[in-house]
Structure 1
Amino acid sequence: MLICPQCKFENPNANKFCQNCGTSLTHHACHECGMEVPLNAQNCHNCGAECGTVWLAIVTREEGGDWELGSWQDDQDDLPTLPLSTEQTLPLAARPVLKAGSYIDKEQRYQLLEPLEILDDNAQATEVCVRVLDCQPYQISPIEAILDNQNQGLFTATDPEISIPKLAKAYVQLQSKGQLEIPAIHDAWQEGNTQVVLIEDRSDWPLLIDLWKEETTSSLQILHWFYQMTQLWAVLEPVRCRQSLLELSNLRLDEDQTLALARLYRESDAETDETAEDETLSLTEQPFSVKVLGEIWQELFRQSQRTQFGAVLQILEDLKLGKIQMIAQLRSRLEAIASDLEASAIPSFSPTAHQHPTAPTLIQLEDDPDEDSSARSDDLPTIVLSMQLSSLEDVGCTDVGRQRQHNEDYFGIDTKIEKQEFPRNRVYQARGLYILCDGMGGHAGGEIASELAVNTVKQYFQEFWQTNQRPTEANMREAVYLANQAIYQLNQQDARSGIGRMGTTLVILVIQDTEAVVAHVGDSRLYRLTRKRGLEQITVDHEVGQREIARGVEPSIAYARPDAYQLTQALGPRDESAIYPDVEFFDINEDSLLILASDGLSDNDLLETHWKTHLLPLLSSGASLERGVNELIDLANQKNGHDNITAILVRAKVRPNMDSQK
């Protein structure tokens, strides 16, 4: 089946357009110039940008077995027919290849972007990697279907009836647990002795060793990568892929300088079996004791020509001598170094000395290495590292919807950013004010109320928010009360009564560096999206249904009431004695996408249903927020459309505060 990229509707494979929304299933828009490009084209014919869907294919044959690829090729294609017999005596240079442009699969979906040389069956090499173009990217693969069913709890990859090639099982298991450090798997199959696994292509991601060499890379940043390696060690141990951390070329960095792997390397079955048979083997003699982490760290220092610093030098020596034998011991030592580095930072007269205090990030550590080390729990011990803001971006958009004649929604954005660059550090300070209102009271009523509320709140913060401190709860409430008073006085002045009294909902988000506070009245919402926690609704609607739930009524009963969605609070109809704004403070200690939404966007669980496709990609710095908010509005018009639709997207990126120590 073909999955529509716009509305996710399932279409027959023969469809050229989505049956539900009409989106093309044969072309897509170039991300650079917007030109329509066929799905099976690697580059845009207009601007030359690579816009095709490219995967890395890992082709592996079992030792002693034949290569079994390409046996389906047409004789007229001038392509080799495989498997190649071990009796052939052609020299390696004369061995045939699958040419670029041919297909690696029988269904002719994955096209080679470079020649795939077929190795001699007698050669020791049992694996080759090659990039392939997905000519049918909207068609769901068997692996994707398995992962989707796992997410719905229908079965797991360990079920005996689920057939997954051995090479692919580790990817499937880790992806189902949300391990973003591991490249996503897209497809996998086996033909005789040959397995093919298609994964996310990270060949252009920067190497860890390259940033390690940079003079501006601090000791605390290096320590942060050490933490990540120990975490990945515990994640990779159950799937027998710790070897992945021991290949320097495999250690990559994502756009936020977080450690990631280009691919997985399995530990050899021989080593695993040998260790299992001899249970008396000491930890220092085991092929994958923590000692090898020390060896790879020493190699990073050697190749980068950086000097090993202080307590890390002692850790490396203790690892070599076997004094550190458990991953928990190693983490404890790293925690102590982190604390010492941060505590020893003495404030001085420098740009960073006056930087606003930042929120901490929590690095999780497992207590017992014998437990399922891939499990993640909020109850685990933590190492605390301070965080600082690295970027703040925002965009807003409003639409009348498909049924209303006029737009009663209104929003306002006021952002101030200061950025200073120095040879060895960077100071980035930002404050953002985001306001969204959904008016009520009909034409010339709701529109006036929502705009008046936004402008009143903006004016208040422009006058009273002069420091680099997050506003207090009293500040937030005063802004809400002033907006309410402005609308209430206008209602009184015009002698409006009953349903004729205009009003509005209100949600205010204020960000000062890595600290945030939200206040709201009504059913306009604030959501937060992070890679770790997914989508969370921060605000709770002020409506009858939620009021009944707070009183102990079962949700199904509370929302069976005919007035369940009626607002219990709104700005304007009554004086401030009837207004009880909710105020909540939180810190931004990981990359976050904050979404302010009117009910035209949030109704019918729209965001809860589609956040993985329409919001999660926007956490990436390379994703366009403007395009993302427009696609979100289009989705709301397709799925809802009964009301005005307004969204504000705020992307806050953070990084460990490394500038205090070098």
Structure 2
Amino acid sequence: MLICPQCEFENPDTNKFCQSCGTPLQSNCELESNSNSTFKIPTNLNDTVASQTHLWAIITKLQPLKLENNSNKQLIAANNNSTLQISDLTSSASNLESTETTENTPLQSRTSSDLVKTEQLYLDPQNRYRINTNYIEDLNNFNQSNSTLSVIEVAVIDEQIEQKTALATLQEQQSELFAELADNVNNSYRSVAQYWNLIGVPTQALPYLVLQKFTPAIPQIYDAWQYNEEAIVILPNRSNWLLLTELWNNPELPFQQILWFLNELAKLWMPLTEVGCSQSLLMKENLLLDEDQSVCLHQLYLNPPDTKPTLQNLVQTWQIWLQESGRQPNQSLEELIQQVIEGAINTVEQLSVCLQQLALENFDFQASVVDQTRELEPSLIVFEENELELFNEYEEDEELISHNDAEDQPTLMLPMQLAEVIDASCTDLGTQRDHNEDFFGVKTEIKKKENAVEKTISVSGLYIVCDGMGGHEAGEVASTMAVHALEEYFQTHWFTDHLPGAKTIEAGILLANQTLYQTNLDHSRSGNSRMGTTMVMALLQDTNLAIAHVGDSRIYRITRQRGLEQLTQDHEVGQREINRGVEPEIAYGRPDAYQLTQALGPRENRHIKPEIKYLEIQEDCLILLCSDGLSDNNLLENHWETYLTPLISSKSNLEEGLFQLIDFANQYNGHDNITGVLVRIKLKPHF
């Protein structure tokens, strides 16, 4: 019996994850392949999980702090063997009471003489966060000479990554309070900061918590606590990321791409202003690019007391940085910046529209979705609200952003193109079945065009997951037949660079159903002995996606901005009753609540009504198709942030990530076959 170190739940010895809370019961590097599995779990750590151990600690003193070489004041009390003291951090520094030599010195330009060698030290009493470098940098508030804050930053390693952080535990205990903070409009947390401090959340952590929806542009806070008068905030370590200004110093960088970056910064202005951290956008060394060349911040900086940076300050910094880059000035951009400085443009919404207009001057772009869907029957197609908006992704349902008449201005769209499409697929027997009735099909065709100036790709992808049923071996036959029938159909009915219309997709699904139904008749199958299968299918053509489903297998979309979205609605009795207005508790209290209302094979075509949707891919995302063995018991709803969100990054290994998710599903569920198909879609602006 394995006792969970987090919740003390008793697990079988074979479990790798706690069945109650999902905490790993052994190191990821010890995962083995399941005896019934069709794949082997990798023995190395997932890149994303490993990267979480390398973090950035920000230690803030709330009162004026006079650092002296002979100071004995403890910063953090760990234990007798690993006490971190101010004297440890500053023993080699000289004249640290004067901020003149450090306050305006960027992190990237510090010399070795500014750094202080340390011993093996920990930042917390539990010896969880170990300093990950031989050097500690005393910032002493390098950005503002009139601030009363003193700051020390250092890279650390989380040596207990399998354990919940102090912040995560506090969020569970105070879930309602944290939900209220996330929905806060007036930033009243500033007026009740003392209360947050009393429950253990330092004031410095609150802006990160409020702005979590802006990840990865805003670092997602990893941990935070306070000890006496010090606040400690733990963030991802981005200290080695590329500076934004380093990239646009490249003379070959298209001017439209610089406009794109400026617009990304403009979109962050209002959210950061609302939480009093707009200063973060005015510091060149704080603006970074991730591996996908998305604009991100190293960390958040609170505005100095009684200081509120303006939109004019923002564009003035742009002006300075562009001059420093040595690029040839662009008259249109110079005129736009001058209009903001003079007050002719006074809202970030107006500024954003003007930047977009400048970027579009060299493009003749028309949304192709309308042309692609002319043949679609209205009753068979559902377009998601605001699916065609691109630049307003932060403004949709965004309480933090102040609204005004500028919002009524037309939204312009800069063309987006594919940067990368990668897929991974796997099916697993599960821990309690003796045969696998799931089947999947994946077909991705990539056309690449590359020259000395640019590289573009065009993708056509067909992804199918079927979960069979109908007695011994009949389920396997049904799911396999359905996948093959659909693959053969679209081989001859999808031959252009546009997605098939809804009528064409429906015809393919009905053909697969008729094939299975006729097989049942030919073999005199009746009642429960009739074979059948669920079906979910996604068709990808560049940045356009069509999805269709019959039954209770599902399709999810995972993005950094919206999180996990279930794109399909189960065809089962309980969901049907909810659609009719019945309360969910009553609908799923029925004994037949999980009985399918639709499936391919058991009934003739007039009973089959597939649901079809068309979506436009607007941001980096994952598309997950899965059987109910993976989605049962809200597994994905409860654990998507751990197992799926990290896979959006192009640095992560998609196949290994899917293997780990299915291995976890075997421990969490395991009662059924488990199948998943993951598609990672990465975009970039078309310059």
Give the match for residue 444 of structure 1: 473
- AA at the equivalent of 1:263: Q
Counterpart residue number, 2:348 = 327
The Cα shift of 1:622 comes to: 1.5
| Match of residue 351 from structure 1 | none
Match of 1:645 in 2: 674
Q: Distance in 2 between matches of 1:292 and 1:268?
A: 14
Q: CA deviation at 1:136?
A: 2.1
Offset, 1:482: 1.6
With over 3 angstroms needed to count, the CA separation of the structure-2 counterparts of 1:241 and 1:575, relative to structure 1, is same
- The answer to whether residue 126 in structure 2 is matched with residue 129 in structure 1 is no
**Equivalences for residues 558-573 of structure 1 within 5 A:** 558-573=587-602
2:333 to 312, 316, 326: 312
SS at match of 1:435: strand
- SS of the residue corresponding to residue 29 of structure 1 reads helix
Report what 1:430 is aligned to.
459
Alignment of 1:196-345 (within 5 A): 196-269=232-305, 271-272=306-307, 288-343=309-364
Q: Is contact 1:69–1:191 with CA below 8 Å preserved after alignment?
A: no
Kindly tell me: are residues 644 and 150 of structure 1, through their superposed partners in 2, closer, same or farther at Cα, counting changes over 3 Å? same
Cα deviation for residue 85 of structure 1 reads 14
SS in 1 for 2:196: coil
Structure 2 vs 1, CA of residues 84 and 375 (structure 1 numbering), >3 Å: closer, same or farther?
farther
Tell me the C-alpha RMSD between the 2 structures.
Answer: 3.9
Give the distance between the partners of 1:266 and 1:413, measured in 2 at CA: 49
Which residue of structure 2 aligns with residue 141 of structure 1?
165
Give the match's secondary structure for 1:10: coil
Pair 1:375–1:560, CA change in 2 (3 A): farther
**Shift, 1:397, TM fit:** 0.9
Tell me if 1:65 matches 2:65: yes
Give the AA of the match of 1:126. S
Partner of 2:441: 412
Q: For the residues of structure 2 that align with 1:85 and 1:138, how far apart are their CA atoms?
A: 29
- Is 2:171–2:178's contact at 8 Å kept on the other side of the alignment? no
Aligned-partner residue type, residue 235 of structure 1: P
Pair 1:457-2:486 in alignment: yes
Contiguous gaps of at least 5 residues in structure 1: 44-48, 273-286, 346-358
Q: Choose from 192, 195, 205 the match for 1:168.
A: 205
Alignment of 1:71-82 (within 5 A): 72=77, 82=86
CA deviation map 1:190-215 (0-9, x unaligned): 45554433221111221111221334
In 2, distance between residues paired with 1:96 and 1:51? Answer: 24
Q: CA deviation at 1:621?
A: 1.1
Q: Whole-Å Cα distance in 1 between the matches of residues 296 and 682 of structure 2?
A: 17
CA spacing shift, 1:99–1:18, aligned 2, 3 Å = farther
Alpha carbons of 1:387 and 1:85: their partners in 2 closer, same or farther (altered >3 Å)? closer
Q: 1:220, 1:82 → 2: CA distance?
A: 48
| Residues 491 and 572, structure 1, Cα contact 8 Å, conserved in 2 | yes
Between the aligned partners of 2:115 and 2:216, the Cα distance in structure 1 is 37
Partners of 1:630 and 1:89 lie apart in 2 by: 49
Q: Is the 8 A contact 2:470 2:530 kept in 1?
A: yes
User: Relative contact order (alpha carbons < 8 A, sep ≥ 6): 1 or 2 greater?
Assistant: 2
Cα distance in 1, alignment partners of residues 556 and 431 from structure 2: 24
Q: Secondary structure at the match of 1:385?
A: coil
Q: 1:363 aligns with which of 388, 391, 395?
A: 391
Tell me the amino acid that sits aligned with residue 113 of structure 1: N
Q: C-alpha displacement at 1:600, in angstroms? A: 1.4
Q: Does residue 492 in structure 1 map to residue 521 in structure 2?
A: yes
- The question of whether the paired residues in 2 share the 8 Å contact of 1:433 and 1:510 is answered with yes
Q: Secondary structure at the match of 2:414?
A: strand
* 1:434 match: secondary structure: strand
Alignment partner, residue 663 of structure 2: 634
Q: Which residue of 1 aligns with 2:224?
A: 188
Name the counterpart of 1:10.
Answer: 7
Partner residue of 2:686 out of 649, 657, 660: 657
Within 2, Cα distance between the matches of 1:327 and 1:433? 41
Aligned-pair CA distance for 1:259: 0.9
Contact 1:30–1:51 (Cα < 8 Å) also in 2:
no
Give 1:26 deviation, angstroms.
7.1
> Which SS does the other structure have where 1:58 is aligned?
strand
Match of 1:519 in 2: 548
Instruction: State the alpha-carbon separation in 2 of the partners of residues 641 and 80 from structure 1.
Output: 47
Cα distance in structure 1, aligned partners of 2:625 and 2:89: 63
Q: Give the aligned partner of residue 382 of structure 2.
A: none
Q: Which residue of 2 aligns with 1:20?
A: 18
Question: For the Cα contact (< 8 Å) 2:315–2:337, is it kept in 1?
Answer: yes
Unaligned runs of 5+ in 2: 32-40, 68-72, 97-111, 182-188, 367-386
Query: What CA distance in whole angstroms lies between the structure 1 residues aligned with 2:683 and 2:254?
Result: 16
Alignment partner of 2:313: what SS?
helix
Cα distance in 2 for partners of 1:117, 1:55 equals 14
Instruction: Report the alpha carbon displacement of residue 473 of structure 1 after superposing the two structures with TM.
Output: 1.0
Structure 2 residue corresponding to 1:99, chosen from 106, 109, 118: 118
CA contact (8 A) 1:523 1:567 kept: yes
Letter in 1 for 2:326: Q
- Give the conservation status (yes or no) of the 8 Å contact 1:367–1:380: no
- The CA distance in 2 between the partners of 1:106 and 1:593, in whole Å, is 39
Quick check: 1:54–1:131 contact (8 Å CA) kept in 2? yes
Code of the residue aligned with 1:643 in structure 2: it is D
SS across alignment from 2:390: strand
The one of 454, 457, 479 aligned to 2:508: 479
Q: In the aligned structure 1, how far is the partner of 2:514 from the partner of 2:684?
A: 41
Q: Is the 8 A contact 2:421 2:680 kept in 1?
A: yes
Return the letter of the residue paired with 1:211.
Answer: L
Q: How far did residue 647 of structure 1 move?
A: 1.0
Instruction: Tell me whether 1:392 sits opposite 2:418 in the alignment.
Output: no
Contact between 2:443 and 2:463, CA under 8 Å: does it hold in 1? yes
Give CA deviations for 1:298-326 in whole Å, capped at 9, x if unaligned.
22322322223242121122234444343
Which range moves more in the overlay, 511-520 or 114-123?
114-123
Determine the structure 1 residue equivalent to 2:186.
none
Residue 514 (structure 1) shift: 0.7
- For residues 601-612 of structure 1, what are the structure 2 equivalents within 5 Å? 601-612=630-641
Q: Which moved more, 1:114-123 or 1:156-165?
A: 114-123
Contact 2:555–2:623 (8 Å) recurs in 1: yes
- Three-state SS of the structure 2 residue aligned to 1:571 is coil
Retained in 1: the 8 A contact 2:93–2:116? no
Displacement, 1:450? Answer: 0.9
Report deviation, 1:471.
0.9
Measured after TM superposition, the shift of residue 413 of structure 1 is 0.4
Residue 104 of structure 1 aligns with an amino acid whose one-letter code is L
The separation in 2 between residues aligned to 1:178 and 1:122, in whole angstroms, is: 25
Specify the SS of the correspondent of 1:486.
Answer: helix
Distance in 2, matches of 1:570 and 1:318, equals 61
* Residues 414-468 of structure 1: CA deviation (Å, up to 9, x unaligned): 1100112222222210010011111111222111111111111111111222111
Relative to 1, partners in 2 of residues 1:292 and 1:404: Cα closer, same or farther, differing over 3 Å? Answer: same
* Residue number in structure 2 paired with 1:549: 578
Aligned partners of 1:360 and 1:386 also within 8 Å: no
Residues 120 and 130 in structure 2, CA contact (< 8 A), matched pair in contact too: yes
Could you tell me which residue of structure 2 aligns to residue 277 of structure 1? none
Aligned-partner residue type, residue 129 of structure 2: Y
User: Hey, what's the Cα distance between the residues in 1 that align with 2:138 and 2:677?
Assistant: 54
